[in-house]
Structure 1
């Protein structure tokens, strides 16, 4: 009985904030590669089955967003593109491409940190999941660790602007 109890306790410790912290680690990895710092994890039955960090620049692939990378790895790991009952945690609100991929993958729940005020397609602009023509429904939970997720992005772009300014001054 103690095994079940400790397993239950371990699962209870894995809150949405816990999973978002895992995504934040991947966002940091993206920043270290000079990519926009976005990270994502796909979770099924209390385990990460897919991880992704933003990588369009170094992968030379416009679709290499964190969400897409995490979905690809998750689908490969369970040998099925339908990720029914899986959750995706991502540090930034998905764009239209990524929101579409979430629908096609049949993700059950989306948890995101910061809103993407320029191109967010879930709550900020298109609200893709609320369109009547969609044949799948994704539950959305926003604002998970929003301040930390937003700060990672702000710090990245602040550093990038500073580097650009220094570069111009050296010319």
Structure 2
């Protein structure tokens, strides 16, 4: 049986060959974390950091629970991954997140030297990768990860839409 291969929708990076099953698995793990955030009344965003095929850090949005405006899913996952590896650099790691990162999180991704960023849903209002400041396209950014978008986008967008519909 031939493996399904996924090359993703590259946003400024080179194409990366990965099995579709692995891409879906990691996207689903991040989505499950987003569901946990939603159940807690937090904006449903989840993230995982993967190193050599293994999840080494995960997180979901929790700024309200922690009274910390920086407690975004990406930041929480990066903190956990850095602690797991005992370093502030996550070279060779992939970050999977359910929503296009904001400027703060994109900056943290660059500082952590994340190799590849995979995000599900685009965020035209608050995103900073393919929207807004397009941080990784700026000449002053010292590290620019490969960026891939779209795996799990429909599910992530539906979760966000349902979350905000309940609150309006």
TM-score by length of 2: 0.87
Query: Which of the pair is proportionally richer in helix?
Result: 1
Instruction: Point out the structure with max Rg over C-alpha.
Output: 1
Question: Secondary structure in 1 aligned to 2:90?
Answer: coil
Query: Which residue number in structure 2 is paired with residue 165 of structure 1?
Result: none
Matched, 1:137 2:144: yes
Matched, 1:59 2:66: yes
Matched, 1:150 2:151: no
Cα offset for 1:160?
A: 1.7
Residue 69 of structure 1: which of 61, 70, 76 is its match?
Answer: 76
Distance, in Å, in 2 between the alignment partners of 1:29 and 1:91 is 13
Residue 24 of structure 2: which of 5, 17, 24 is its match?
Answer: 17
* Structure 1 residue ranges, 4+ long, deviating more than 4 angstroms after superposition: 11-14
Residue 26 of structure 1: which of 12, 33, 39 is its match?
Answer: 33
Cα offset for 1:17?
A: 1.7
Cα offset for 1:16?
A: 1.6
Runs of 5+ consecutive residues of structure 1 not aligned to the other structure: 1-10, 162-171
Matched, 1:80 2:87: yes
Give the superposed CA RMSD: 1.3
Cα offset for 1:13?
A: 7.0
Distance, in Å, in 1 between the alignment partners of 2:67 and 2:141 is 31
Aligned length: 151
Structure 1 range deviating more: 76-85 or 132-141: 132-141
Query: Which of the pair is proportionally richer in strand?
Result: 2
Distance, in Å, in 2 between the alignment partners of 1:142 and 1:128 is 15
Matched, 1:112 2:119: yes
1:120-163 Cα deviation digits (max 9, x unpaired): 000011110011122112100011111111000001111122xx
Structure 1 range deviating more: 126-135 or 58-67: 126-135
1:105-131 Cα deviation digits (max 9, x unpaired): 000000001111111000011110011
Runs of 5+ consecutive residues of structure 2 not aligned to the other structure: 1-17
Question: Secondary structure in 2 aligned to 1:15?
Answer: helix
Cα offset for 1:14?
A: 5.0
Distance, in Å, in 2 between the alignment partners of 1:121 and 1:108 is 17
Distance, in Å, in 1 between the alignment partners of 2:156 and 2:69 is 22
